[in-house]
Each structure stands twice: as C-alpha cells, then as structure tokens.
Amino acid sequence: MMTDATPHIAIDKSPRWHLDFLDSFPVGIYRTTLEGRIIFVNKAFASIFGFDSAGDLISYPEVNLYHVRQDRGVLIKAVLDQGYVEELYIPFKKNDGTPIWCAVTARAVFDDDGIVVFLDGLMRDITEEIDNKERSTKEKFKGVLEMAGGVAHSLNQPLTIINNLLSEVLSDLHPDDRNHQKIMKVHDQIQKLNSIVKKIGGIKKYRAMDYVAGIKIVDIDKASRVEFGEEIK
C-alpha cells in the first residue's frame, strides 16, 4: 500500500533556497527589465559572460553584452510579438570582449494590468557548436575548392573554341539574317559561361551562400574576389 508523502515533506520557501536551486542549473538564467537593466542572473549566466560572480551583473546594462547592440531590439520585438522566443541564435561578447554565440529562449512577464515588466530567459552557450559546424562546412567544401582550378582549366579550352567558331559564323551572317539573332543569343550565353569559369578559376578562399532547404553552396562571386591586403585562405 502506497501513501502520499507530500504533506510530510518540508519545503524551504526562503529566497536562499530559490537562489541555490537556480544556481544549480548548467544554463544561464536571467531576468531583465524591458529597458535592459539586469535584475537577476544565476552563476552559469555570469560564467558564460566571464564575470566572477552573478552579483557583478546586477543593474549591468544588458545591451553591453550584445555583439551587435541592435540585436537586443530584434529579440524584444520577437518576444513582444509572439510572447516568447525559443532557441534564437544571437552573437554576444564576454566581459573581456571575446565574441560568443548563445541560443536564447525568453518570454515576457506581465503585471496585473497586462503590461510587460520583465523578460525572463535562458541562455545557452553554443560557441563551440557554431565553430564545429563552421569547421565541418569548410572541410566539406575544401575538396570542391581544390578542384576549382582544374575544372576551370578543363572548361576554358572548349569554351574558347566555341566562342571563336560563333564569332566566325556571325561574321559571315548579315545582321538581317534570321539566324543572326539566334547565334548572338548563344554567343552572349557563352560569354557568361566564360565569366563564370574565370571566377571559378579565381577562387582563393572559402565563401558560402545559403541555398534551398538549408543547404550551403560556394558563393563564387565572393570566393573569387580577394580584397587588397586580405590574406588568401
């Protein structure tokens, strides 16, 4: 026979108990005013941002933690529009300026009049995850970049021959000939291909762009352009 032991369990309702409970979590927990004044953080939050203690962050301007200050406005707008946000990736910076990435889950806290008074949230440091993902993506494209020069070289010769042949055909056709316009269209497309091949052959570094369904592909425009003084990677 089982007996409900709940009535016999003494629960400490003191503020100290609550603080110890929140400090036991391995993720950052915080509360800020809508204006950006920090009301509470736990030990994990302070650790994420390189502070010695949670107390060092009380009344600290939260906006100073953002790598891009405008991102706080983006977060607040999302929370006010939806009531909460979940796992929103935002770049921050530590107390010493070191850049980090965090996944933020936050909700709005309302008073009795329905006015937002606080933002409560969880902060998870995902810097290592972001770095690993970026490293994996670069390794994935490494083989593609190494082949770029060979592919460009292989395509260059046949495209040059086609371009020269089209030029000869065009020179023999009168501008009023009905085939002249068609050949010109083909000629223009070959010129575009020549330009693309030149960019592929000029790839000196890794640059990716978003494609469909979360897939990334090489951005040949950026990857083939090296700014003055920039290190070639």
The answer to whether residues 177 and 121 belong to one domain is no
- Partners of 206 in beta bridges: none
Split at pLDDT 50, 70, 90, the class of 98 is very high
Q: What is the CATH number of the domain that holds 162?
A: 1.10.287
Which strands form 116-125's sheet, in the order they lie side by side?
A: 38-41, 28-33, 116-125, 99-110, 84-93
The answer to whether residues 59 and 80 belong to one domain is yes
- Partners of 19 in beta bridges: none
pLDDT given at position 231: 39
pLDDT digits (tens, 9 = 90+) for 11-24: 445 566 677 778 77
Residue-range definition of the domain harbouring residue 150 = 131-223
Residue 95 belongs to some domain of the structure: yes
The answer to whether residues 15 and 117 belong to one domain is yes
Where is pLDDT greater, at 232 or 48?
48
Q: Are 28 and 122 in contact (CB under 8 A)?
A: yes
The answer to whether residues 92 and 137 belong to one domain is no
Residue 76 belongs to some domain of the structure: yes
Q: How far apart are CA 8 and CA 148, in angstroms?
A: 73
Is the pLDDT at 221 greater than 90, yes or no? Answer: no
pTM of the predicted protein model: 0.59
